[in-house]
Amino acid sequence: MPQTPAQDSTGGLALPEIVDSHCHLDFPDFADEIPQVIARARAAGVTRMVTICTRLASEPAVRAIAEAHDGVFYAAGTHPMRAGEEPMATMEQLVALARHPKFVGIGETGLDYHYSADSAAAQQESLRIHIAAARETGLPLVIHARNADDDMARILAEEHRAGAYGCVMHCFSSSAELAQAALELGFYLSMSGIAAFPRSAELRAIFAAAPLDRILLETDSPYLAPPPHRGRRNEPAYTAHTARTGAEVFGLTLAEFAAATSANFDRLFTRAAAGARAA
């Protein structure tokens, strides 16, 4: 889809359109400030964003944010770190939620053995349920992976053989082997502020080796703010800083990289692309 530049809030040159494919606007960090956060994002060229629900009990609040703001879409699922404490989601629940026109993805789901290895069995069961819902709805899966590369690659491949589905490896910071396994399945890798950290040269090399047409951008805000905001609260406007890093990694201008990643977003998150065209 052709990208329409956003107007620079300073009245200067138009900014390229950037998409924050993963943020958490319902988190307390943004309490009573969501309109201002969204306004700052738009002023930075971030015209669309997906706010992610990490437990189904929070879905109504996340949905309300998306309903209240143009250019804001949402996804819902059970985060792997909550899989051992939340009621197990069912495919039927997820499919029912997916009927909302601003619901654009399933998750985030996945595996996290760094903080929650004791719930590995529940995480794997939850992940397979979310994959089934992605397959049923045709909406992309949003994957969180940490310290679980072998099981993650195995389950994603097993399930893909059972029936294709779309997927983004959100906030990708895992191994080159998991990146390659995901890319071979046709999945996408999402670049967060981690890629802009000075010590992330190895991660930048993983992204540089990936096809440009499989790269998305995100903040995972309020976490992982890129320089020059590292250590402070992250917010969708800061996707622009990560986009500059991505442009350097791929040897492109900011406008070229923003256009490529926005087109990738539209290709994966087809409902969000359709909603943008209808607006």
Task: Name the token pair of 217.
Answer: 């951008």
Q: Is 22 annotated as a binding residue?
A: yes
Tell me the pairing of strands 188-191 and 72-76: unpaired
Task: Name the token pair of 71.
Answer: 């250019």
**Is 247:16 a contact under the CB 8 Å cutoff?**
no
Tell me the pairing of strands 215-217 and 188-191: parallel
CA nearest to 219, candidates 248, 242, 245: 242
Q: Is 220 annotated as a binding residue?
A: yes
**Is 225:234 a contact under the CB 8 Å cutoff?**
yes
Q: Which residues contact 200 (CB under 8 A, 6 or more apart)?
A: 173, 194
Q: Is 144 annotated as a binding residue?
A: yes
Q: Is 241 annotated as a binding residue?
A: no
In terms of Cβ atoms closer than 10 Å to its own Cβ (0-12, 13-18, 19+), residue 13 is exposed
CA nearest to 15, candidates 263, 254, 264, 239: 254
Q: Is 160 annotated as a binding residue?
A: no
Q: Is 130 annotated as a binding residue?
A: no
Query: From the annotation, which residues make up the binding site for a divalent metal cation?
Result: 22, 24, 108, 144, 170, 220
| Binding site listing | 22, 24, 108, 144, 170, 220
